Amino acid sequence: MSAAGFWPTLNCRGFDVQLTQIQNQIREAATRGAQLEIRGHGSKAFYGQTPLGEPLELSGFSGISSYEPSELVVTVKAGTPIVDLEAALAEQGQHLAFEPPRFGGRGTVGGMVASGLSGPARASAGSLRDHLLGLTLLNGQAELLSFGGTVIKNVAGYDVARLMAGAMGVLGPILEVSLKVLPLPVAQATLRFELSQAHALNQLNRWGGMPLPIQASACWDGALVLRLAGAEAAVRSAIQTLGGEEIPDVLALPFWRGLRDHSDEFFVGAARAVQGGAQLWRLSLPQTAPVLNLHGEQLVEWGGAQRWVTTALPAAQVREAAASHGGHATLFRSHDKSVGAFAPLTGPLLRIHQRLKASFDPQALFNPGRLYEQL
């Protein structure tokens, strides 16, 4: 597959002197045979394999390029803090519906896309990839490339923009992103149920077949917590249907914020366990998967589709448990990632990844090994 099959018409979009400086750094590194670590605020340096290379700083490349609230589209530079973008959206009664984690307010838009992480509402609102309309990045020749667009219905050519979601920057530094945004819910409510994980999974699967405005769910330590969102009448009706204990907003909002930003009690405990030699795993499974027989603390999100497990079990056992139920496991936090952070690829998939890497970054400048050792 040649690079010519991917490159669209270049679009400079009025980028300033800072862009030239970034391009010069890439060209200079290529001349020396150096490698570059793409860096925003460093909030996700723990994620994926250990960052390597000279820093290519993008944190100063920030700001909202354009925002059309009536069109539900915003275009923003990659170094923009997520919290700054969300503040601007909130002024117009809108938000990023997939709730990306902000990691103490340090997360940037570029890192958000590169990591591909979504928050509690992902099961109902879709993932980051579903809200990504287009982006601009630099390739290994420091050429400026634009993919996708700024409209929701855009199917022309390869859907290259979405390849960048979760690519950990190995294909090149993202400079600007266009995202779909949505109105904030009119009404919200949080319900709590005393349920075992097995019973909670059964209930979530049953409720999933009903017309209920369930926006997010979390099951941990014998309790299931639901967040309802939508029209006032729909939320009130669902409360009557579901029962449970309604949690006041003064308690519920910090809980969901902590779950989203990984500052909740479960993640704080996981961080302590990692310091002691355990690992925090993120498992992606079918929602109908049963309780996993894995020793350690477990937190279940997304109606059962995302399982967090803090354990000292061998990686092979965790990955086999996920694979046996049609899923995969990511080593999210650990001091030792010699087993690989992400689920190993089959031979054909690895070759596709390698060809993509060679097309975008033939000298392997960007984020070496951050996604897979072979990239």
Tokens of 340: 């690989």
Count, residues in the chain = 375
CA dist., res. 104 & res. 116, Å (int): 17
What per-residue confidence (pLDDT) applies to 11? Answer: 41
Cα separations in angstroms, 281 against 98, 152, 273, 274, 313: 21, 33, 12, 11, 10
The amino acid present at 220, given as its one-letter code, is: W
pTM over the 0.75 mark: yes
Angle, nearest 10°, between helix axes 249-261 and 265-275? 40
What per-residue confidence (pLDDT) applies to 15? Answer: 54
CA dist., res. 192 & res. 64, Å (int): 38
What is the 3-state secondary structure of the chain?
Answer: CCHHHCCCCCCCCCCCHHHHHHHHHHHHHHHHCCCEEEECCCCCCCCCCCCCCEEEECCCCCCEEEEEHHHCEEEEECCCEHHHHHHHHHCCCEECCCCCCCCCCCCEHHHHHHHCCCCCCHHHHCCHHHHEEEEEEECCCCCEEEEECCCCCCCCCCCHHHHHCCCCCCCCCEEEEEEECEECCCEEEEEEEECCHHHHHHHHHHHHCCCCCEEEEEEECCEEEEEEEECHHHHHHHHHHHCCEEECHHHHHHHHHHHHHCCCHHHHHHHHHHHCCCEEEEEECCCCCCCCCCCCEEEEEHHHCEEEEEECCCHHHHHHHHHCCCCEEEEEECCCCCCCCCCCCCHHHHHHHHHHHHHHCCCCCECCCCCCCCC
CA dist., res. 360 & res. 241, Å (int): 52
What per-residue confidence (pLDDT) applies to 150? Answer: 60
Calculate the CA 244 to chain-centre distance. Answer: 30
What is the 3-state secondary structure of 194-211?
Answer: ECCHHHHHHHHHHHHCCC
What per-residue confidence (pLDDT) applies to 3? Answer: 35
Tokens of 9: 């018409």
Q: How does pLDDT run along the chain (375 residues), one tens digit per residue?
A: 333 333 333 344 445 778 999 999 999 999 999 999 999 999 999 999 999 999 999 988 999 999 999 999 999 999 999 999 999 999 999 999 999 999 988 899 999 999 999 999 999 999 999 999 999 999 999 999 998 866 544 444 557 888 999 999 999 999 999 999 999 999 999 999 999 999 999 999 999 999 999 999 999 999 999 999 999 999 999 999 999 999 999 999 999 999 999 999 999 999 999 999 999 999 999 999 999 999 999 999 999 999 999 999 999 999 999 999 999 999 999 999 999 999 999 999 999 999 999 999 999 999 999 999 999
Which residue in 87, 84, 91 sits closest to 69, CA to CA?
Answer: 91
CA dist., res. 213 & res. 260, Å (int): 19
CA dist., res. 218 & res. 322, Å (int): 19
Domain architecture of the chain: domains with CATH: 3-183+347-360 (3.30.465.10), 187-261 (3.30.70), 265-333 (3.30.70)
Q: How many CB atoms lie within 10 A of CB 155?
A: 7
What per-residue confidence (pLDDT) applies to 158? Answer: 58
Q: How many CB atoms lie within 10 A of CB 172?
A: 25
